[in-house]
Copies of this chain bind each other. A is one copy, B any other.
Amino acid sequence: MIVVLSGGVGAARFIEGLAAVVAPERIAAVVNTGDDMVLHGLYISPDLDIVTCTLADVIDRNQGWGIAGDTDACMQWLARLGAPTWFKLGDRDLALHIYRTARLQAGATLSQVADEIRQALGVAVSIIPMSDDPAPTHVLTDQGELHFEEYFVRERCQPVVHGVRLHAAGPVRPAPALLPLLMSAEVIIIAPSNPVVSVGPILAIPEVRTTLTTTNTPVVAVSPIVGGAAIKGPAVPLMKAVGLTPTALGVAETYADLIDGIVIDTIDAELAPAIQSRGIATLVTDTIMRGMPEKMALARATLELASLIAPSTARSLV
């Protein structure tokens, strides 16, 4: 399997390209659940839904999240009842949250529910939450400790961040399928997702980090930082807040003990020597995924980098 450690929008787009380049049945997305929260009594899992709905081709392409053509009749009535409305939930979207919540209450695990939704929506890529345990990411700000979605959506990234607390609810065990998957992987890809709050929570699971630092399987990352900026989301302020440099070099340094290679954007070509000097194979290419051709090209480049690192794996990849 080709395993992709995934956040939301960037990862979902990357995997779309990957699934057009290799058989989707050979791909497994391990998805961040640090953004998960309970709102209106409903269990909401933003990154699982973004990845699943993108691969099911039902995503709202303009937003990158939510379901295409969705309506907000329920939300309008929740507002009328005085419920909080800062987190928009479309009517179709709500079906995912209602279904997931009911199944969890009936005793299913998050892994099981993610797989049920994936199958129902006809997605061939395996989708695995990083953990079945609660693993909320908190952002430490000048307005106090906020859940990531409170910081990101409700406060629109306005508070000044001075730190991040991963796994804020206590120890987080890997999802049952996760370690076997990592150990049998042909290649492990760290998607172009926020290193702090998207990939960070996955890597903060002790068994995941240990596996990645000791595996012989090639581990390659795709930098989400291009020209010192994030394609989407608050990667820059969050990287700064935890002492990371918000550049492609900073991303490589963040993952230095885990990765064998990294794909960075053409605009950051000048950073390649510094990354390579740290023993990280570096592939420079266009990484902005405007449409399917760019997504597929990025996927191919990433697999090519992995095959350069582990030539014996190469022939089986594409």
Contacts and interface: CB of A to CB of B under 8 A. Distances in A.
Interface of A: 40-42, 67, 70-71, 73-78, 80-83, 90-92, 94-96, 98-99, 101-102, 105-106, 116-117, 120-121
Contact of A116 (B76, B82, B91, B105): B82
Nearest 8 CB-CB pairings of A with B: A77-B95, A41-B102, A73-B91, A91-B91, A77-B92, A78-B95, A81-B99, A74-B91
Contacts of A121: 80
A41 B78 contact: no
Nearest to A73: B91
Contacts of A117: 81
Contacts of A76: 92, 95
Contacts of A78: 95, 98-99
Contacts of A75: 95
Contact of A74 (B80, B95, B106): B95
Q: Is the interface of A mostly helix, strand, loop or mixed?
A: helix
Given A40-B99, A96-B81, A91 B120 contact: no
Given A71-B73, A78-B98, A83-B95, 9 more contacts: A41-B101, A41-B106, A42-B98, A71-B71, A73-B90, A74-B98, A76-B95, A83-B98, A98-B98
Given A74-B74, A74-B92, A76-B92, A81 B40 contact: no
Contacts of A83: 95, 98-99, 102
Nearest to A98: B40
Interface centre among A67, A76, A102, A105 (most CB of B within 10 A): A102
